Structure 1
């Protein structure tokens, strides 16, 4: 499955970066340190928009974080590194990359190293506002397992998103 996703990335995303741009909504999040993505967790990001510039060597991600019942909008810019991953600063150092994309969903992996040095591996699934189908959720469970993230650490967050659309 990982090899298939990487092949998809290599052949599909090379010309599909324009498909990444636009309005997106966080559908599901998974993390090995699940406390970071629980409600009001620092990495429970409600994505709203992705934009690319410089041939997608820079990717802006606009999202909300809900802390203390208040939604705060943030935009970060990820700069593509030599290994193809994007790097940005938010709640520490982040290295993220899209690993699968269709017109309906994009799956990102992210490695966050917070200010205390704690490393958290994450998966973000963004979509067009529809929940994952049972088949998509099953694939997410398989991918999470390959990323050493327990399936019980997957959070479907679309219905919990109360931040401005």
Structure 2
């Protein structure tokens, strides 16, 4: 019953969000660095948190029906490399089991920035997270303003934004 409720809740949340345009694979593919992350449960994304990701590479597989993500997570100060393949579901949502269940959407992409929104269900709580990545090592003021707007639209407080790039000392 809990699974049915969570599925319904997730469907309603997705329906209430701005529907992203079809993904342009040429803009998604490449090397990306996580610049910012924000969450409604900030403990998940603080330094050493289980969802503090240091993105490196994104590839579209089969016209983006699958996404291959390469990233690091730090545990006790040690960078641990992950390469995961996410499966596309209805409505452009990707699913993966990582630190629970993650339902991920690409909600904004340009030539220089990419923003993920995902919900992490760890079995006890659902945490809403955004990750802003760039092809470089920073956002312009306009890009940061857009990132803040995307957080506001999803009910994630901007005071919960973490500057991820400042602690990124994992290998390229």
The answer to whether the superposition gives a TM-score over 0.5 is: yes
Q: Which residue of 2 aligns with 1:90?
A: 98
Distance 1:76 1:120, change over 3 A: same
Q: 1:24-59: per-residue Cα shift (whole Å, max 9, x none)?
A: 110110100000000010000000000111221010
The equivalent residue for 2:61 is: 53
Residue 136 of structure 2 corresponds to 129
**Other-structure match for 2:156:** 149
1:10 aligns with 2:21: yes
Question: For each residue in 1:59-104, what CA deviation from the matched residue of structure 2 results, as whole angstroms up to 9, or x when unmatched?
Answer: 0111000110100000111100012100001101001011111110
Q: Give me the whole-angstrom Cα distance separating, in 1, the residues matched to 2:142 and 2:61.
A: 33
Q: Among residues 37, 43, 47, which one is paired with 2:51 in the alignment?
A: 43
Tell me how far apart the structure 2 counterparts of residues 139 and 56 of structure 1 sit (CA, whole Å).
24
Secondary structure in structure 2 of the residue aligned to 1:126? strand
- Secondary structure of the equivalent of 1:162? coil
Question: Segments of 4+ in structure 1 off by > 6 A?
Answer: none
TM-score if structure 2 supplies the norm length? 0.85
* CA distance in 2 between partners of 1:136 and 1:84 (Å): 23
Residue of structure 1 aligned with 2:117, choices 85, 104, 109? 109
Conserved 8 A contact 1:76-1:89: no
Shift, 1:6, TM fit: 4.4
Aligned residues: 156
Deviation sequence 1:2-41 (CA, Å, 0-9, x none): xxx947x325x2xx11321111110110100000000010
Cα RMSD (Å): 1.5
Instruction: Name the TM-score, length of structure 1 as normaliser.
Output: 0.89
